[in-house]
Amino acid sequence: MDRRQQKTRAAIVQAFTLLVQKKPFERITVQEIIDQANVGRSTFYAHFETKDELLRSMCTDIFHHVFHHALPQEQEAGCDTGLQNLQVKLGHVLYHLGEHKSVLKGILSSQSSPLFLGYLSEYLYQLFQGYTDEFDPRIPRDFLLHHLTGSFCEAVKWWVNGPQPQPPETVASYFMMTLGHFAP
């Protein structure tokens, strides 16, 4: 993709980001995105087939940064146990999701919430796979992974829509405590 295409794509994503903060995802039209981005219809469709694909692309960009670039450096963050390391990583995930909190609030309060949470779940599932050995071996691995993923997605929804802002580290700590692991 050349610079011009990158700029156009960024303008479309920025337009979508602004719109999703103002109205529910399902009420946003491609025409509104086009108008806000100041691009032509064919230009929009050259980058995205649908607004759902635009949402998926935006989520992929966010999650790719959070889960693939930043987390590996934190694996050696001086944590004594694997679960302490997991807590640090979850705090980091929340920190970066918090950078997009107003957008997430719009997405999570709309009919596209399951779409977003499905994308998030895919990444969380992979993250939690590295920690299944830290839990009781009597719990089936697949059950544990689905439980952790679903619970953390619900924690994200609570955090994004909550009336009082909580620091990411606090929410990660709450999550770990609900798993029966004290996380100061």
- Domains and their CATH numbers in the chain: 1-49 (1.10.10), 54-178 (1.10.357.10)
Instruction: Kindly report the pTM of this predicted structure.
Output: 0.81
Mean pLDDT across the stretch 133-145? 93
pLDDT tens-digit readout, 46-67: 999 999 899 889 888 888 877 7
As a dihedral over the C-alpha atoms of residue 91, residue 101, residue 36, residue 64, rounded to 10 degrees, the angle is 20
Mean pLDDT across the stretch 113-132? 91
**pLDDT above 90 as % of the chain:** 51
State the average pLDDT for the chain: 87
Strands (E), the chain: none
Dist CA 142 CA 90 (whole Å): 20
Please give the angle made by the CA atoms of 59, 64 and 68, to the nearest 5 degrees: 155
Can you say how many angstroms the Cα of residue 173 is from the centroid of all Cα atoms in its chain?
18
pLDDT tens-digit readout, 24-44: 888 999 999 999 999 999 999
**pLDDT at residue number 91:** 92
Work out the pLDDT band at 108, boundaries 50, 70, 90: confident
Residue 94 has pLDDT above 80, yes or no: yes
**pLDDT at residue number 39:** 96
Backbone angles phi, psi at 167, to 5 degrees: -65, 145
Residue 183 has pLDDT above 60, yes or no: no
